[in-house]
Amino acid sequence: MLSLSQYCVFAGIVAVSLALICYVLAFAYGRIARVRVALAAQGSGGEVTTIALTDSSNGIAVFGTLTTWLALAFLSAALFFRWRATGHGPFANMYEFSVAFAWGALVVNAYFLRRYRQWAVGVVVLPIALAMLLYATTIPSEAEPLVPALQNNLLLTVHVATAVIAYGAFAVAFAAAALYMVQSRGARWGLPDRKVLDDLSYRAMLVGFPFLTLTIVLGAVWADIAWGKYWSWDPKESASLVTWIVCCTYLHARGARGWRGKRAALLLMLVFAATLFTYFGNLFFGGLHSYG
């Protein structure tokens, strides 16, 4: 079962890579087509206002989207087999958490893909998922038995699953913000409309923030049960609080002060930086989360 899980992870890596290649090709084809149409329009003295993607770029993008779903299916299967093999939620060490992080990014990406139909966001989300999967291949993947502190199947599963969804949502928000930032005024590079990206990143935050809050609260519940203290200022706890505070700042700045565009996008990038800091922080600072 563990081998099956690993095969699925490798299949997931291949599928994510293929999807990424498709998206990049679709983007490139779209760009070339736009340049051609623009040149033709200049030649004929016409004015270019809106240009649709060519059929070929759309076709490749659709293939990329299908492959993204396939990657999600492979990673879901990988987590399922791992769960069956170990008897607990597949979130107990950095290997499992990294695969789960990639899965979370793909799940949230798939949700927003259905809702907004903006495959270009995948051009940034997929490399993040791929990086997590490749990182997972570099660390020990053995299924170690659970140490006493982790022996709480329900909380282990729910606490980390909510974290995975939150981190995935922040990855999508970051992707939309990054695509927003690379568009200078008047130069869209064939990317989605900035207003759409701004809205998409905000909606992703509205998913991520409650899930991050739930993660922190469930972590406090678990800490109280296992260590007799709901908050110990452990580095991972503090880092997650930093992320939570940056999220709060973004939501208030956007909601009440009307921050949009670049300023909001920069804050979203900060949220994702804080997320990575929270994710990898325990590797540098130790503390109570030394296992993952």
Partner 1 sequence: MAPQVWIIRQLTSMRVALMLLFVLGLLTLAGTLLSQVPDAIKGNQAAYAEWLSLMRPKYGGWTGILNTLGLFSVFSSIWFKGTLLLLSASVTTCSLRRFSGLWRTATRPRMIMTEAFFERAPHTARIASEKDPGAALAALRAAFRKNRFRVATERDGEDIQVCADRFRWAPFGRIAAHLSFVLILVGAVATATGGFRDESFVVPIGNRVDVGHGTNLAVEAKSFADSYYPSGPPRDYESRLVLYKGGTPVKTQDARVNHPVRYDGVTFYQSFFGPAVALRAKTSDGQVVFNQGVPLQYVSQDEKDRIGRFLLPQQGLKVFVVTPASGEVDPRIPAGETQLEVYRTDGEKPVGAQVLSQGRAATIGGVDFTFVREREFTGLIVAHDPGSTIVWIGSALLVLGLFTLFFFPHRRIRAVIRPGAGGSEIGVAAIERRNVTFADQFESLVEDIRRAVSGGAQPEKGGTVDA
- State the residues that interact with partner 1 by CB under 8 A: 115-116, 144-145, 147-149, 151-152, 195-196, 199-200, 202-203, 206-207, 209-210, 213-214, 217, 220-221, 224-231, 233, 235, 238-239, 241-242, 245-246, 248-249, 252-253, 256-257, 281, 285
- What is the rounded CA–CA span in Å between residue 115 and residue 138? 34
- What is the rounded CA–CA span in Å between residue 287 and residue 240? 14
Residue 254 Cβ vs partner 1, minimum distance, rounded to whole Å:
9
Q: What are phi and psi of 77, to 5 degrees?
A: -65, -40
Distances (CA, A) of 40 to 28, 47, 49, 55, 58: 18, 10, 13, 18, 21
Residue 185 Cβ vs partner 1, minimum distance, rounded to whole Å:
20
Contact status, residue 277 vs residue 239, Cβ threshold 8 Å: yes
Q: Which is nearer to partner 1, 55 or 144 (CB)?
A: 144
DSSP secondary structure letters along 128-167: HHHHHHHHHHHS----PPPPGGG--HHHHHHHHHHHHHHH
Q: Which is nearer to partner 1, 74 or 167 (CB)?
A: 167
Contact status, residue 67 vs residue 19, Cβ threshold 8 Å: yes
Residue 205 Cβ vs partner 1, minimum distance, rounded to whole Å:
9
Q: Which is nearer to partner 1, 10 or 227 (CB)?
A: 227
Residue 209 Cβ vs partner 1, minimum distance, rounded to whole Å:
7
Longest CA pairwise span in the chain (Å): 76
Q: Which is nearer to partner 1, 62 or 245 (CB)?
A: 245
Residue 268 Cβ vs partner 1, minimum distance, rounded to whole Å:
15
End-to-end CA distance of the chain: 22
Q: Which is nearer to partner 1, 102 or 155 (CB)?
A: 155
Contact status, residue 277 vs residue 236, Cβ threshold 8 Å: no
Mention every residue, 6+ apart, whose C-beta is less than 8 A from residue 47. Answer: 41
Q: Which is nearer to partner 1, 139 or 217 (CB)?
A: 217
Residue 148 Cβ vs partner 1, minimum distance, rounded to whole Å:
4
